[in-house]
Chains A and B, each alone.
Chain A
Amino acid sequence: MKYIDEYRDRQLAHEYASAIAAITTRPWTLMEICGGQTHSIVKHGLDRLIPSEITLIHGPGCPVCVTPISLIDQAIAIASQSNVTLCSFGDMLRVPGSSSDLLSAKASGADVRMVYSPLDAVKIAQQLTQQNSDRQIVFFAVGFETTAPITALAIAQAHQLGLDNFSILCAHVLVPPAMEAILSNPDHTMQGFLAAGHVCTVMGYGEYEAIAQQYQVPIIVTGFEPIDILQGIYLCIKQLESGKAEVENQYARSVKKEGNQQAIAMMQEVFEATNRQWRGLAEIPKSGLKLKDKYAAFDAQKRFNYEDNALEICESPLCISGLILQGTSKPHQCPSFGKACTPEHPLGAPMVSSEGACAAYYQHAVI
């Protein structure tokens, strides 16, 4: 596939690994933000290709993994109502709530549907309206700034179409506040970041410059293919070795500094920032999105009378997902990894999601 295959060139990858080794004079610890990057690193063995002095820590960049249990429980409760069809990305269906998951709810008779896009959920709502159905369509809106504008577009379409049978359960979260939360922890070990290329495709990277300056960490906006990630690592190490802490854009074929202005404008039209619980990271101020009052009619929590409950800590005591999402432990350091916890029988979200670090390690046999 054009613009993918050429960035998976084995020879070029090995040349990049050599270039990284040539400039590395001491140990460095980098964090890749995005779970998509984590999977690419593990799948292609990039962590074993680069010098052993470089440690890659996997960040909290899996929105499925950081969605609080309380919201999953609400999604299950809403889906279980007789006149509701709950639409969700496939990643969310098997993430454990307090006592169940959406797939189990579906097996028990709930109308839970996997969709490719929130726009598909709007189409379903539009069709039901035309059929004079009284069913309610609820989209479980999970994701970072890459996905939030897609949900915002769905809301704008539903608003324009005058749909009163469409709403969202909003779990959107923002990356920069999470980065700052990690960097504010005095025990953090991160010396540089690979920032998420598709988040920055939407948002640009202007807001990362203040973070780089305040915390004195280089931040490299990085793509997802092996050559992208290796180049991101090279640029990050080059800065660290020369004592710099700047924002650089490795993924310039997709990312512009100003981002996608139309997408940003739609997000700002529909959403406003709010405090949000992150599974494994506690509450982070202004790290989530909620619908503005103008669009409150599309808020499933209001429509179905659910308060945004505080996160109940009811993770399995055998699961260390909180430590993994903070980057302080790696999946294979969990005593349950591959034993009590597998993709078929997950104890925590990182073993379920296609972007979860535990699933990546399990799938690609990292030990």
Chain B
Amino acid sequence: MCLAVPGKILSIQGEDLMRVGKVSFSGVVKEVNLAYLPEAEIGDYAIIHAGVAISIVDPAEAAQTLLDLQQI
């Protein structure tokens, strides 16, 4: 139920509750609601759950997770 997947924001339109964007999931493009990410910009990767973006992927943190083991 809490499945959510990252996708790249290709376009943004609309405002407030109806703010939406085209999001690419490895080439599969779907319309996603962006109401909860007013700061999202084209090119950002967002985590999408049930047709709605719930967070912007932090690229630095994403890279750090893969480097953490080297620092153990």
Q: Encode contact with A along B1-21: 1 for CB under 8 Å, 0 otherwise.
A: 111111010000000011000
Is there an interface contact between A4 and B6, defined as CB atoms closer than 8 Å?
A: yes
A266 to B17, CA, bound (A): 10
Knowing A62-B1, A116-B51 are in contact, say whether A227-B6 is a contact too (CB < 8 A). no
Write the chain A residue with the least CB distance to B62. A253
Given A19-B72, A262-B35, A36 contacting B65 (CB threshold 8 A):
no
The digit string for B38-72, where 1 denotes a CB below 8 A from any CB of A, is: 10000001010111101101110110111011001
Q: Which residues of A contact B59 (CB under 8 A)?
A: 253
**Which residue of the partner chain, among B4, B36, B57, contacts A262 with CB atoms under 8 Å?**
B36
- Check A201 against B36 for contact (C-beta < 8 Å): no
Partner of B50, one of A118, A252, A256: A118
Choose from A3, A64, A202, A252 the contact partner of B45 (Cβ within 8 Å).
Answer: A3
The listed residue (B5, B18, B54, B72) touching A157 by CB distance below 8 A is B18
Interface: A260 (CB within 8 A): yes
Residue from A9, A61, A120, A202 whose CB has the most chain B CB atoms within 10 Å: A202
* Total A-B contacts with CB atoms under 8 angstroms apart: 134
A227 touches B65 (CB 8 A): yes
CB-based contact A2/B6 at 8 Å = yes
- Interface residues of A, Cβ cutoff 8 Å to B: 1-4, 6-7, 9, 12, 15-16, 19, 34-36, 61-64, 89, 91, 116-120, 142-144, 146-147, 149-150, 153, 156-157, 160, 196, 198-199, 201-202, 224, 227-228, 231, 234, 250, 252-256, 260, 262-263, 266, 353-355
Nearest first, the 9 A-B pairs at minimum CB distance are A117-B51, A253-B62, A252-B61, A3-B6, A146-B2, A253-B61, A198-B2, A117-B50, A262-B36
In the complex, besides A119-B52, A227-B65, 4 extra interface pairs with C-beta distance below 8 angstroms are: A34-B2, A36-B2, A116-B51, A224-B3
